[in-house]
Amino acid sequence: MKRIIITLCICTAWAASAYAQYPYTLKKCLEEGLANNYSIRITRNEEQISHNNATLANAGYLPTVDLSAGYTGTLDNTDTKTRSTGATASERSIYDQTLKAGLDVNWTLFDGFNISTTYKKLQELERQGETNTRITLEDFIAGLTAEYYNYVQQEIRLKNFLYAVSLSKERLRIVEERYHIGNFSRLDYQQAKVDFNADSAQYMKQQELVVTSRITLNELMAVQEVNRPLRVNDSIITVNDDLNYDELWESTLKTNANLLKAGQNTTLAQLDYRQVLSRNYPYVKLNAGYGYTFNKYETNATRQRSNWGLNGGITVGINLWDGNRRREKRNASLQIRNSQLEKEQLELGLKADLSNLWQAYRNNLRLLNLERQNLVAARENHEIAKERYLLGDLSGIEMREAQKSLLDAEERILSAEYNTKVCEISLLQLSGRITKYLE
């Protein structure tokens, strides 16, 4: 028994000294996580890619400029027979050479509004990249905030179990003293010892849960030393009980990130449809260049020749039929309708989720008020039981029941606080207001 007590004291002292090194608030955890979390960094890089792609050149507005050079050599054997005399002249290993170099410019001036539509699509994809980053950030803030308060919950539960151990220890001390003077039986002593060991074991298991939550929190913050000691400033779970359903729903319709992304998907589908329609218009392409050509002949009357100068041209055309346009147009039209339906479905799902979370939130608030009253009654009951137990008017089993009732009341109120907080976090995330935890 003494060994168990010493172990518990050492573990508690080690935990207290280790945690004291790292006082963290929720805001500090979020700021560190937002700067280091791998998922966020990856999403931000993807957002930067979509930003880099939204350029006039990528859309096709700008001309292309090519510098090229080439060399060609031909090695021929020639037999020439004249018609008048019938004589045959033979030439062997004739090596003619051609050298070309030039600068070419190609520019699509008009492509049936396809270029402007492509540019708008790239800009919309850039905005969607920002929305994707926002979704990742909000998911991260909600996840880390929930884990932060889970860590607070686990530490509070650890303190409750430590208090239970102290109560069992005091009861064991009383029973042991009275057992030696004959006031209590060996059965009372053994039962007190069993209860103390059970509470000690529960305390040790809770220590493991605290460590697990701490590791998860460090992992979310992308701390390389995931087992780093961590102490949070919050010692209680404070819930916000003044949320308003109508305000939450109005905010959801205006700022929910997934709803915004659904609207962007509709815009992209409409731009795809316009790209198909652009093929009904003619195209105008401009080309120009400056080149140099050098020819060297081995048997020609002209030994060598050089040409240099400008060249240019314009091409106007229209695609009359390609066999796919009508199919692509129908599919693009259906995609627009699908994106609209997906947005409506998402909006309905958000309303259902908000209603369910609101119901759970309000119910947990009522439950929390009830459990607070129960906790007061349980504490009074435990104090009365303790006094009667010291006077010998209460059995060990009855004292244990009073102690268990107190611990159960503390556990229920802790669970109600955490469940209410989780509902609050989910409601703020749905309504696009989750970043308030950064304030």
Q: What is the mean pLDDT of each run of 10 residues along the chain (439 residues)?
A: 45 45 85 95 96 95 94 82 76 84 93 93 97 97 97 95 90 79 74 89 95 96 92 91 95 96 97 93 94 84 85 92 89 96 97 97 95 91 85 80 90 95 97 94
Nearest to 251 by CA among 354, 352, 133, 137: 354
Spatial distance between the Cα atoms of 111 and 316, rounded to a whole number of angstroms = 10
Determine if the pTM surpasses 0.95: no
From residue 246, alpha-carbon distances to 250, 251, 355, 420 in Å are 6, 9, 11, 19
Spatial distance between the Cα atoms of 321 and 302, rounded to a whole number of angstroms = 49
> How is residue 46 written in tokens?
């993807």
Residues forming a β-bridge with 65: 105
Give the per-residue pLDDT at 250.
96
Give the per-residue pLDDT at 438.
92
- What is the sign of the dihedral through the CA atoms of 414, 417, 420 and 422? negative
- What is the sign of the dihedral through the CA atoms of 348, 352, 353 and 354? positive
Amino acid at 129: G
Torsional class of 112: left (φ above 0), alpha (ψ -120 to 50), beta (otherwise): left
- Do the Cβ atoms of 69 and 88 come closer than 8 Å? no
> How is residue 149 written in tokens?
């308060």
